[in-house]
Structure 1
Amino acid sequence: MAEPLTFIPTRAAASARLAEFLPIAGRYAADRNFVRPGHPNISRLSPSIQKRLLLEEEVIDAARARWPFEAVEKFVQEVYWRTYWKGWLEQRPEAWSRWVEAVPRLRDALSAEQRSTLEAVLAGRTGIAGFDAWAQELVETGYLHNHARMWFASLWIFTLKLPWELGAAFFYKHLLDGDVASNTLSWRWVAGLQTPGKTYLARADNIAHYTEGRHVPDAARLATQPFPITEEPLPKVPAWSEDQTAAVDVQGRVGLWLHPEDLAVERGEFAGLNFESINASWPSGIATAAGWSPKVAQWTRAALEDGALRAAKHFGADVIASETPVLGSTMVEWAQARKLSVVVAYRPFVGPWLPEALDVEAALAKAGFTLHWRRRAWDATLFPHATRGYFPFWERIRSAG
Structure 2
Amino acid sequence: MPRPGVQGLGLPRHVVQTETPTRAAGLARLASFVPHGAAYARERNRVVPPHDRVSRLSPYLRHRLILEREAVAAVLDAHPRDVVDKFISEVLWRTYWKGWLEHRPHVWDAYLDQLRHDRDGLAGRTSVRYAEAITGRSGIACFDAWARELIETGYLHNHARMWFASIWIFTLRLPWTLGAAFFLRHLLDGDPASNTLSWRWVAGLHTRGKHYLAQAENIARYTDGRFDPKGELDEQALPLTEPPLDLKPRALSASVDLPTDLQSGLLLTPEDLAPEVSHLSKLGFRGVAGGWDETVGEALDLAPPVGDFSRVAIGDALSRAEAHFAVPTHALDEGDWLAAAEAWACGLAVRQVVTLETPVGRWRERIDQLDARLAKHGIALVRSRRTWDSSLWPGATRGFFPFREHARRQGHLDGLTRIDDA
Using the size of structure 1 for normalisation, the TM-score is 0.95
- Provide the residue aligned with 2:113 in structure 1: 101
Q: 1:216 to 1:228 in 2, by over 3 A?
A: closer
Report the AA paired with residue 197 of structure 2. L
Residues 189-234 of structure 1: CA deviation (Å, up to 9, x unaligned): 00001111100000001000000011111x2221021223222122
Unpaired runs of 5+ residues, structure 2, are: 5-15, 415-422
Q: 1:340: Cα distance to partner?
A: 1.1
Check whether the contact 1:241–1:380 (CA below 8 A) recurs between aligned residues: no
What does 1:50-65 align with in structure 2 at a 5 Å threshold? 50-65=62-77
Deviates further, 91-100 or 233-242? 233-242
Report the AA paired with residue 265 of structure 1. P
Q: 1:324: Cα distance to partner?
A: 4.0
Q: 1:250 to 1:186 in 2, by over 3 A?
A: same
- Provide the residue aligned with 1:222 in structure 2: 233
Partners of 1:70 and 1:282 in 2: CA distance: 40
Report the AA paired with residue 136 of structure 1. R
Residues 167-195 of structure 1: CA deviation (Å, up to 9, x unaligned): 00000000000011000000000000111
Deviates further, 38-47 or 273-282? 273-282
Q: Percent identity?
A: 46
Deviates further, 175-184 or 116-125? 116-125
Q: 1:350: Cα distance to partner?
A: 0.4
1:159 equivalenced with 2:171 (yes/no): yes
Match of 1:368, SS state, is: coil
- Provide the residue aligned with 2:255 in structure 1: 242
Partners of 1:122 and 1:325 in 2: CA distance: 28
Deviates further, 341-350 or 190-199? 341-350
Check whether the contact 2:291–2:311 (CA below 8 A) recurs between aligned residues: no
1:202 equivalenced with 2:194 (yes/no): no
Match of 1:257, SS state, is: strand
Q: 1:5: Cα distance to partner?
A: 8.1
1:17 equivalenced with 2:15 (yes/no): no
Residues 96-152 of structure 1: CA deviation (Å, up to 9, x unaligned): 111111112112212411111111112212121211000000000000000000000
Report the AA paired with residue 220 of structure 1. G
- Provide the residue aligned with 2:102 in structure 1: 90
- Provide the residue aligned with 2:91 in structure 1: 79
Residues 262-311 of structure 1: CA deviation (Å, up to 9, x unaligned): 00000111010011101113323221012211110111111111111111
- Provide the residue aligned with 1:336 in structure 2: 346
Partners of 2:112 and 2:217 in 1: CA distance: 35
What does 1:344-359 align with in structure 2 at a 5 Å threshold? 344-359=354-369
- Provide the residue aligned with 2:78 in structure 1: 66
Partners of 1:317 and 1:271 in 2: CA distance: 13
Unpaired runs of 5+ residues, structure 1, are: none
Check whether the contact 1:192–1:228 (CA below 8 A) recurs between aligned residues: yes
Residues 314-365 of structure 1: CA deviation (Å, up to 9, x unaligned): 0001111032443332223212222212211112110010110011111100
1:182 equivalenced with 2:194 (yes/no): yes
Partners of 2:341 and 2:131 in 1: CA distance: 42
Check whether the contact 1:284–1:323 (CA below 8 A) recurs between aligned residues: no
Check whether the contact 1:89–1:95 (CA below 8 A) recurs between aligned residues: yes
Check whether the contact 2:99–2:392 (CA below 8 A) recurs between aligned residues: yes
Partners of 1:324 and 1:307 in 2: CA distance: 16
Check whether the contact 1:331–1:364 (CA below 8 A) recurs between aligned residues: no
Check whether the contact 1:199–1:226 (CA below 8 A) recurs between aligned residues: no
Check whether the contact 1:5–1:38 (CA below 8 A) recurs between aligned residues: no
Deviates further, 207-216 or 98-107? 98-107
Q: CA RMSD in A?
A: 1.6
- Provide the residue aligned with 1:289 in structure 2: 299
Match of 1:282, SS state, is: coil
Partners of 2:269 and 2:141 in 1: CA distance: 40
What does 1:356-367 align with in structure 2 at a 5 Å threshold? 356-367=366-377
